[in-house]
Amino acid sequence: MTDTSGPKAGAEAARAMILPLALAQFIASYAATNMNVAITPIASDLGTTVAGVQTAITLFTLTMAALMIPGSKLTDIWGRKRCFVIGLGVYAVGGLLAALSQGLPQLIIGYSLLEGVGSALMIPPIYILVTVTFPDVKSRARYFGVVSGAGGLGAAAGPLIGGLVTSAISWRASFGLQVLVVAWIIWLARKITDPAQEGPKPRFDLTGAVLSAAGLFFVVLGLLQSRTYGFGKSRQDFTIGGTVVIPKGSISPVWLFVAIGALFLLWFFLHVRSSEKKGKDVLLPLRLFGNKVANLGLGTQTIQWLILQGSFFAVSVYLQEVNHYSPIQTGLMLTPATIGILAASAAAGRFARRHPQRWLIIAGFLVTAAGMILLLVLVRAHAGIWRWIPGLLLFGAGVGTMLTSSVNVVQSSFPDQDQGEISGLSRSVSNLGSSLGTALVGSVLVAVKLPEGRPFAVALIIMLVVALIGLVLAVLIPRKPIDATATPSPGAASAASHPAP
C-alpha cells in the first residue's frame, strides 16, 4: 500500500512509483508504432527489403502477444518489481543490438525478439503494481489514467517522434533514445515498493506457457496475414517452400493460421483443466473466466484497442495516400486525438469520484462513436485541418475515458492473489484487439474497389459498427458488482469484483 503517514508523503510515494511505470508503458507503446515511418531507411541501410523490415515489425508484435500471459505469471514467481526491472533490462539490450544492427538478422534478434520479450515481462507488472498498491477503485482510476495516457501518447506520437528522429538523425538514434529512456526508468524503479505477496510461490507451468504462447502466436499471425491474403478468398497463392498450399481464389490462409492457434488454445484449456483436477499450479486458472464483470470488461477492452488502432491506421493511410502527407505531417494531424486521450486520461480520477466505471465506459463509447461520425461527415479529400479536429478530438477523448475505466473494471474484479494472471490475460486481449483492428482495416482498404477516399469511409464505418457492439457490452456490465476483496482464498470461487464507485 502507499505511505499513509501523511497526504504529502503518500502523494510523493505515489509519484515515485507511477513515473517509471508510465514511462515504461510509453516506451512499449512507442516501440509498436514508431518503426512504421522508418521502414524504407532501415531497409536501405541494412541492405534488405521493405518486406524484411515489415517481417521484423510483425515478429515484435507476435513475440509480445505470445509471451504476455507467461510473462505475467512470472511476476508471482520473481516478484512484480523484479520482473519489471528484468523486462526493462532485456528491452534495453534489445534496443542496443537493434541500434547497432548490421543486417536484418541482428535487427530481428534485438528489436523483434529481445524487445518483444522485454515488453512481455515489463508490461503486466505495471498494471499489477497499480492495482495492489492503491486499494480503492477511485485511486486506481487516477493512476490507471496516467498509465493509459502515457500508453496512448506513445502509440499516437510514435510515428511523429520516430519520423522526426529518423529525418533529423537516423533510425538508429530512435533505438538509442529508447535505450537511454529505459536506463532512466531502471534508475527510477529503485523507489518502487512492491507489496509483499502472501503464500508460497507457484510453480511455473511450462507446458501451459508453451501451449498458450503457440496459440496466441498463430492467432495473431493469422490476423496479420489478412493484409496480404484478405479474410475471404485468398488474393494470391499461399506458398510454403515454393509449393502452393492454398491457390488464389480459395479460402484465405488467415483461417488456417487461426485454426491452428485455436487448436493450441483448446489444448491449453484442456491441459489447465486436467492440471487443476490434479491440484497442480497452472498458468491461467479457469475460474478467471467465470467472472461476468471481468468478461464483459475484457470484451470492451478488446474492442477499444481494435477501434483505436484500426481507426488510427485508416486515418494515417488516408492522409498519406489521399492527401499525400509525409509521416511527420500525418503524426501532427493526429495530435487532436492524442490531446483528447491525454485530457480524458488525466481526468480519470475526477471522473471516477463522480461516476461509476460502467457509466464511464458507456459514455466513452458514445463520445468515440460521435467522433467517428463527425469524421465521416466533415472530412473530404484534401480537407483542411479544421475539418479533422472535432472528430479526432472527440474520438481521443472517448477512447481515453473508456480505456482507463475498462482496465479498472477488469483488474478490480479480482483479489490481489489473482492479479498476475488477470493482468496477463488483460494485456493479451488488448494485443489481440490491436492486431485485429489494423488487420481488418488493412484488408478492407485493399479489398474495397471504390473511388478515391471511399475505401477509407467503409473502413471507418466498420470501426463505428464495432464501437456500437462495444457499447452494447458496456451496457450489459452489472450496475453493482460484488467486492472481490471478500473472496476468502485463491482456491475459492473468485468471480466477485471490487465495488464500482
What's the rounded Cα separation, in Å, for the pair 249 and 232?
Answer: 9
Residue with cell 508510465: 22
Residue 142's contacts (CB-CB under 8 Å, 6 or more residues apart) are 348, 349, 352
Q: Phi first, then psi: give them for residue 201, nearest 5 degrees.
A: -70, 135
- Half-sphere exposure of residue 395: CA atoms within 13 angstroms, side-chain side: 30
Query: Angle, nearest 10°, between helix axes 50-78 and 80-99?
Result: 160
All cell numbers assigned to 460:
471507418
Q: What pLDDT, on the 0 to 100 scale, is given for residue 3?
A: 45
CATH class of domain segment(s) 288-483+494-501:
mainly alpha
Q: What pLDDT, on the 0 to 100 scale, is given for residue 6?
A: 47
All cell numbers assigned to 359:
457509466
What's the rounded Cα separation, in Å, for the pair 72 and 463?
Answer: 30
What's the rounded Cα separation, in Å, for the pair 476 and 122?
Answer: 32
Q: Which residue, among 150, 157, 231, has the nearest Cα to 436 in the 3D structure?
A: 231
What's the rounded Cα separation, in Å, for the pair 181 and 417?
Answer: 31
Low-confidence ranges of the chain (pLDDT < 50): 1-6, 9, 450, 482-501
Q: Which residue, among 155, 443, 420, 169, has the nearest Cα to 312 in the 3D structure?
A: 155
pTM listed for this prediction: 0.79
CA separation, residue 458 to residues 51, 185, 324, 444, 447 (Å): 27, 42, 20, 8, 11
Q: Which residue, among 252, 253, 268, has the nearest Cα to 216 in the 3D structure?
A: 268
Assigned fold of 7-194:
Growth Hormone; Chain: A; (1.20.1250)
Q: What pLDDT, on the 0 to 100 scale, is given for residue 491?
A: 35
Mapping DSSP onto H, E and C, the string for 392-410 reads: HHHHHHHHHHHHHHHHHHH
Nearest-10 Cα torsion for 403, 408, 411, 413? -120
What's the rounded Cα separation, in Å, for the pair 187 and 384?
Answer: 45
Q: What pLDDT, on the 0 to 100 scale, is given for residue 85?
A: 94
pLDDT tens digit string along 285-338?
Answer: 888 888 888 889 889 988 988 898 888 888 877 887 777 777 677 777 888 888
Instruction: State how far Cα 399 lies from the chain centre.
Output: 13
All cell numbers assigned to 81:
518489481
All cell numbers assigned to 164:
522526426
Mapping DSSP onto H, E and C, the string for 168-203 reads: HCCHHHHHHHHHHHHHHHHHHHHHCCCCCCCCCCCC
What's the rounded Cα separation, in Å, for the pair 309 and 433?
Answer: 8
